[in-house]
Amino acid sequence: MTALLQLDKVSKRFGGLQAVKDLSFEVREGEIVGLIGPNGAGKSTLFNLINGVFAPDTGRITFAGTDITGEKPYRVARSGLSRTHQIVQPLTNMTVLDNCTVGACFGKENLPLARAQVAARDAIAVAGLEDRAHMLAMHLTIAGKKRLELARALAAQPKLLMLDEVLAGLNPTEVEYMIGVIRRIRDRGVTILMIEHLMQAIMSLSDRIVVLNFGQKLAEGLPGEVAQHPQVIEAYLGNPKLAEELQGSSAHV
Amino acid sequence: MLGIFASIIDGVLVGLVYGLAAMGLTLIWGVMDVINLTHGVMIVAGMFALFLLTSALGLNPYVAMLPVLIGGFLVGVALYWISIHRMVGRPPLMSLLSTFAVNLVLIGVGTAVWGTALFNVEVSVPGISMGRYTFPGAHIVAAVLAAVIAAVLYLFLQHTRLGKSVRAVANNREAAELVGIPTTRVLAISVGLGVALAGISGVLIATLFPFTVLSGDGYQLKGFVVTVLGGFGNPVGALLGGVALGLLEGAVTPFVPVSWTLVIEFVLFVLVLIAFPTGIFRSRRGAL
Amino acid sequence: MLSMLRRPFFWIITLAVVAFALAPVYGNDVSLRESLLLDALYITLASNLNLILGYAGYVNFGSIVFFGLGGYICVWLVNSYSWPLAPSLMVAGVCVSALALIFGLGILRLRGAFFALATIGVIEAVQAFVENFTPWGGSAGIYLSSEIFRPLGGPAHALWVIYFMMVAVMGLSLYLSYAIKTSKFGLGLLAIGQNEDAAAILGVPTPLYKALVYSVSAFLPAIAGGLYFFKSAFIQPSDAFDLSLSTEALVVGMLGGQGTVTGVAIGAFLYEELRGYLLTSSTFANFQLVVSGALLLLIVLFFPGGLMGFIYSRFPRTQKVLE
């Protein structure tokens, strides 16, 4: 398997805060990589660095063989990298279908309007939003908005999909459903990099896990290995319940 | 040598007044992210208030500042309730349009009543001479008063209970609400203060230069430039930004026609904003 | 493009344009023609402003600059180089669009309110330039001789020709608004108007789209400016860059419902008729600004969706037909 996304010693500082420091890892084609770490570990910042919301201070980010370090977000999106947001960002006064059509129009395939609508409907079906396709995005429930984020990113037909806490704030039934959706997306050959706090979910979904703490990589490996890693357990000891959950979930794998 | 020195002093004197003229604009902008497009017309209202108070009641121009201060505050609170209150939490462009609408109404009434004729207010304050140059007394008084007002505003924001509430609301309205600050009242008071400052600066400017109903636009435009130079809601920053602008004007006027100075200032405004698209403000928003 | 012919809204626009063109011809009604010419001008200005205000969500206080510069370029070419009207208009449109593109790439890096403030600066800059530009007569302006109407068959006939051209420009503005709204470009603009950051992350090339729409929205107003000042045979800075016309274009857009094609056109028509009425009544002549200000305030405060927002919410089915 070849590396689709490669980070090489990426660093970012905001004033006095070193958000990300000398971070290197890669995501290979076809895998699901889970990104975990305590709150404030720099996970979302890392997503923003990869898709160009912020430019890294130093380091290199390569996607599908091209250097995308500091590239504008719309160029990154066009090259086949889509993402969702932890805090949902719907185009509020547009319908679900229009939201997804925007994704399809300006995504990797750069589709004309008519074909983009077809792709959008397809993505909406995958996310299970068919019945709400003509609803305005602002009228969706929070779970609906999370699905919209996913559908919109998917409509772009990306090579790499970055999911930022798509399961947060969902009830157990919805979580179950979303996990199914993510699996189906992967089965279509889309590579996935995901941030998640729900340990059980991410441990069972991911092929590999990268653990961040204070902006640095603490550990990397198979879910089972990572969960037993002494430093990871220590990092989570600040939150004993999480640590317990972490170990408990590895038992399931 | 003395010539350069004199033009620097002149730039500082005028600049301090520009800074004062911008202070109300930048205060409101900093506290609630509302760009008050009635600012210019409020400056003009201060000018005409001075004209009426001195010509009809024979008040001393500097005494007239007190009624203008009180009147300006009340007008500002009214402005808040009329055009800003419903806009809080809506897209920022809506408050831009709503204050712009009020501006149109006021300008319309002003031109209908006074036309666009030139008015002026006579003040006699002895100037200070330095060699061949004499600095007009009114300029010196205005500059000193501008600095004093900025200092008072700074102390108010830093050290009084109400001032601290204003800063808290500026930093984070929801959090301020949660700790029990009556945010709506604080916002109304901030707009009142901002408009009172506009009125007072109008009074001081009217003691220096003749004016028309439309004079406010120029000062409002300079206010935008001062705000991005000096930082949002920061009275001392506004003075410094004003002085920078005054010096710049002094430096360019020998070389370009007067009608170009505003253009040069605006190019500066755009360049500063492009150089610091969000950074300069994000870091300074909290500095109020 | 052919698919446009199957859409009912395309035919609604066509019908409106034909009605405009023929109404004064029937009975040779010159005063009706003059009033409809102003309506067509307002509809042109407001529809093009709507491209950037209603679709992309950017307030442009300086839309009048396009109108004024177009007027100047056209009048100057006619006066100094004896160009015929049609090529002068085209050159005016193209030049102003090109200028807008260059300006746009600069100031459109500013977001939201900052862009709006910068557009005020654009008016100041252009006006200062023109007032000091001697080939355009400085602040005195340019007068055209009555000879210029001869190629159009003399003054009386020329006024008809100019009227039909203005109606054509209005029609093109409406088709353009509609075509953009139903295109991929329009979808990208609407996304920018909703949430610019999200749009960029979805892949909308925001700087390019914003600069393009700014430039496109300059073309037809520039031509309308050329026609208008050619008709008056006189142009000076204070008329060409009259801020109140910019303002009225904003008010009209809000009145009708920003982002809609129909609403903006109807808003322009109603506003211009109202203004015509107010100007002739002696009480209100001095209070024109007050009226448009008060109107704008009421709309912003209570009816942010404008006329079409009201109609859509009352009769949801109209949304499918009236864009």
10 Å Cβ neighbour count for C151? Answer: 13
Q: What pLDDT is recorded for position A239? A: 65
Q: Say if C297 is an interface residue toward chain B (CB within 8 Å).
A: yes
* Assigned token pair, C320: 């499918």
Tell me if B202 sits within 8 A of B17, measured CB to CB: no
Q: At A24, which CATH number?
A: 3.40.50.300
DSSP letters, C156-202, are HHHHHHHHHHHHHHHHHHHHHHHHHHTSHHHHHHHHHHH-HHHHHHT
Tell me if C56 sits within 8 A of C297, measured CB to CB: no
pLDDT of residue C45 exceeding 90, the answer is: yes
Q: Are residues A47 and A168 in the same domain?
A: yes
Rounded to the nearest integer, the mean pLDDT of chain C is: 87
Q: Are residues A165 and A228 in the same domain?
A: yes
Q: Counting one residue from B and one from C, how many pairs have CB atoms under 8 Å apart? A: 112
Q: Say if A104 is an interface residue toward chain C (CB within 8 Å).
A: no
Q: Are residues A131 and A63 in the same domain?
A: no
pLDDT of residue B285 exceeding 50, the answer is: no
Residue spans of the domains in chain B: they are: 2-238+252-284
Q: What pLDDT is recorded for position C256? A: 86
- Closest in B35, B104, B274 to C293, CB measured: B104
Sequence letter at residue B3: G
**A180, part of any domain:** yes
Q: Look at C132 and B259 and tell me if their CB atoms are within 8 Å.
A: yes
pLDDT of residue B190 exceeding 90, the answer is: yes
pLDDT of residue B130 exceeding 90, the answer is: no
**A219, part of any domain:** yes
Q: Say if C245 is an interface residue toward chain B (CB within 8 Å).
A: no
**A9, part of any domain:** no
**What are the CA-CA distances from residue B86 to residues A4, B81, B93, B95 (Å)?**
49, 8, 13, 9
**A206, part of any domain:** yes
Q: What pLDDT is recorded for position B282? A: 41
Among A163, A190, A188, A193, residue whose Cα is nearest residue A178: A163
Q: Are residues A171 and A229 in the same domain?
A: yes
pLDDT grade, residue B1 (50/70/90)? low
Q: Are residues A147 and A137 in the same domain?
A: yes
**What are the CA-CA distances from residue C25 to residues B166, B168, B273, C30 (Å)?**
64, 66, 52, 9
Of A176-190, B141-155, C107-121, the one with minimum mean pLDDT is C107-121
pLDDT grade, residue B278 (50/70/90)? very low
Q: Are residues A28 and A53 in the same domain?
A: yes
Q: Which domain holds residue A107?
A: 90-157
Beta bridge partners of A3: A28
pLDDT higher for B144 or C258? B144
Q: What pLDDT is recorded for position B203? A: 93
Residues whose CB falls within 8 Å of the CB of residue A38, separated by 6 or more in sequence, listed in order:
A213, A235, A236, A238, A239, A242
Q: Are residues A146 and A104 in the same domain?
A: yes
Direct distance between the N- and C-terminal alpha carbons of chain A, in angstroms, rounded to an integer: 23
Q: Look at B97 and C250 and tell me if their CB atoms are within 8 Å.
A: yes
Residue spans of the domains in chain C: they are: 2-321
Q: Look at B101 and C304 and tell me if their CB atoms are within 8 Å.
A: no
**A244, part of any domain:** yes
Q: Are residues A69 and A164 in the same domain?
A: yes
* Chain C residue numbers touching B259 (CB-CB < 8 A): 127-128, 131-132
**A5, part of any domain:** no
* Assigned token pair, A224: 């089972």
Q: Which of B35-39, C146-150, C251-255 has the highest mean pLDDT?
A: B35-39
Of B29-43, C184-198, C290-304, the one with minimum mean pLDDT is C290-304
The complex's ipTM works out to 0.86
How many angstroms separate the CA atoms of A124 and A164, rounded? 19
pLDDT beneath 50, residues of chain A: 251-253
Q: Are residues A210 and A95 in the same domain?
A: no
Q: What pLDDT is recorded for position B127? A: 79
Percent of chain C whose pLDDT exceeds 90:
41
Q: Helices marked H in B58-136 — which ranges?
A: 65-79, 92-114
Chain C: list its partners (3+ Cβ pairs within 8 Å).
A, B
Angstroms from B259 CA to nearest CA on chain C:
6
Q: Are residues A185 and A133 in the same domain?
A: no
**A2, part of any domain:** no
CATH of domain B2-238+252-284: 1.10.3470
Q: What pLDDT is recorded for position B95? A: 85
* Assigned token pair, B143: 């500059």
* Assigned token pair, C319: 């949304």
Rounded to the nearest integer, the mean pLDDT of chain B is: 85
pLDDT grade, residue C300 (50/70/90)? confident
pLDDT of residue C165 exceeding 70, the answer is: yes
* Chain A residue numbers touching C56 (CB-CB < 8 A): none
How many angstroms separate the CA atoms of C37 and B236, rounded? 53
Q: Look at B266 and C124 and tell me if their CB atoms are within 8 Å.
A: yes
Q: Look at C290 and B105 and tell me if their CB atoms are within 8 Å.
A: yes
Q: Say if A135 is an interface residue toward chain C (CB within 8 Å).
A: no
**A8, part of any domain:** no
Percent of chain B whose pLDDT exceeds 90:
34
pLDDT grade, residue C106 (50/70/90)? confident
> Closest chain B residue to C54 measured between Cα atoms?
B93
Q: Look at C128 and B263 and tell me if their CB atoms are within 8 Å.
A: yes
pLDDT higher for C134 or B281? C134
Q: Are residues A169 and A252 in the same domain?
A: yes
Direct distance between the N- and C-terminal alpha carbons of chain C, in angstroms, rounded to an integer: 17
- Give C55-93 pLDDT, tens digit per residue: 998 888 888 999 999 999 999 999 989 899 999 999 999
Q: Look at A102 and C199 and tell me if their CB atoms are within 8 Å.
A: yes
Question: Going by DSSP bridges, is the β-strand pair A216-221/A208-213 parallel, antiparallel, or unpaired?
Answer: antiparallel
Overall pTM > 0.95: no
Tell me if B204 sits within 8 A of B20, measured CB to CB: yes
Tell me if C169 sits within 8 A of C189, measured CB to CB: no
- Give B214-248 pLDDT, tens digit per residue: 888 888 888 888 888 887 778 888 888 899 888 88
Best residue of A51, A74, A79, A113 to probe chain C, by most C CBs closer than 10 Å: A74
Taking the C-alpha atoms of A154, A160, A164 and A170 in order, what is their torsion angle to the nearest 10 degrees? 40
Q: Are residues A175 and A70 in the same domain?
A: yes
pLDDT of residue B113 exceeding 60, the answer is: yes
- Give B42-88 pLDDT, tens digit per residue: 999 999 999 999 988 888 889 989 999 999 999 999 999 999 998 87
Quote the number of domains for chain A. 2
- Closest in B101, B257, B259 to C300, CB measured: B101
